[in-house]
Amino acid sequence: MAVKLKVASFFSGIGGFDLGFENAGMKVVFQCEINSFCQTVLKKHWPKIKIAKDINSLQSCDIPPAEVWCGGFPCQDLSLANQGKRKGLEGERSGLFYKIAEMLEGKLPRWVVLENVPGLLNSHEGKDFQILLQRLDELGYCISWRVLDAKYFGTPQRRRRVFIVGSLGTVGSAEVLFGGEAPEIASRQGCGKRDEISASTRKGSEAANTFAIQHATIGRKHTAGPQAKGYRNDGEAYTLDSRGSGDAVCKANGSFGIRETTGVPQELDSCRYRAVGNAVNVNVIEWLGRKIIKVDKIFYP
């Protein structure tokens, strides 16, 4: 039996990275998450793993041996939603990248996988991203990056994120993101794998089992703009709101004017909305994980 690659997960949230990498065939051995609600979710699904609560209290020696380190470090200081107010890597939250880099220097795992909003690429006219690349390069990593959209990985939701893969001392990162098979690209916007849902389902069949969070006052029409919620007329969903302001859960085949009951209790609290809005897409991570496993066998036999 092949030995599974071990994963140390930082900024774990509700376990998007963790679940995706496990689905690909890896084993999670460490988690770090400061939010108490997210900790509860992690403990339920990974009860045997001790959760570190504050990354600032960690040292490299606290991290168990793991070939893969991953994390979606905080995006608030990088997000385009804060245009004009972005502090970038100088911000208290997004600046936690430096803590990851500090710990990497003491362990140097074979793989590093980071995720953030595309705003990372142009924060401070690209200087923040330059700093990130230079720091990882100084540690000996070959860095590759690519913006991936969850709608091309079987998720009926527009969710663009930049994924940064580093491979220690090899060009394996480029092979992971750009070599071999490509993700399945839809032929047109809003198509994706959601087209596999039958026409009868889209027209109102009760068989629909996909849901979207929709706001009470916006998102009724596909022309509502980038902050709209729910499914657009072309079948694609906007990005879920991490601020927890959504207040309706709608069936995928439901119209924008009439919201259908889903059996989800009304007391679904803002913690859940926020956790889902911040979550890393599992399907994207599983794809990355399978690529890493294949490439790891070539470059680190």
CB 151 within 8 A of CB 186: yes
CB 109 within 8 A of CB 69: yes
Partners of 114 in the beta sheet? Answer: 71, 164
Rounded Cα–Cα distance for residues 64 and 110 (Å):
14
State the amino acid at position 179 in one-letter form. G
CB 132 within 8 A of CB 90: no
Parallel, antiparallel, or unpaired: how do β-strands 211-214 and 248-251 relate?
A: antiparallel
Q: Which of 70, 75, 142, 250 is catalytic?
A: 75
Annotated catalytic residue 75: yes
Going from the C-alpha of 102 to that of each of 64, 96, 107, 276, the distances in angstroms are 16, 10, 9, 29
CA 273 to chain centre: 15
* Ordered strands of the 111-116 beta sheet: 51-52, 27-32, 6-10, 68-71, 111-116, 160-168, 141-149
Helix or strand (DSSP H, E) at 142: strand 141-149
Helix or strand (DSSP H, E) at 29: strand 27-32
CB 165 within 8 A of CB 176: yes
Which residues carry out catalysis? 75
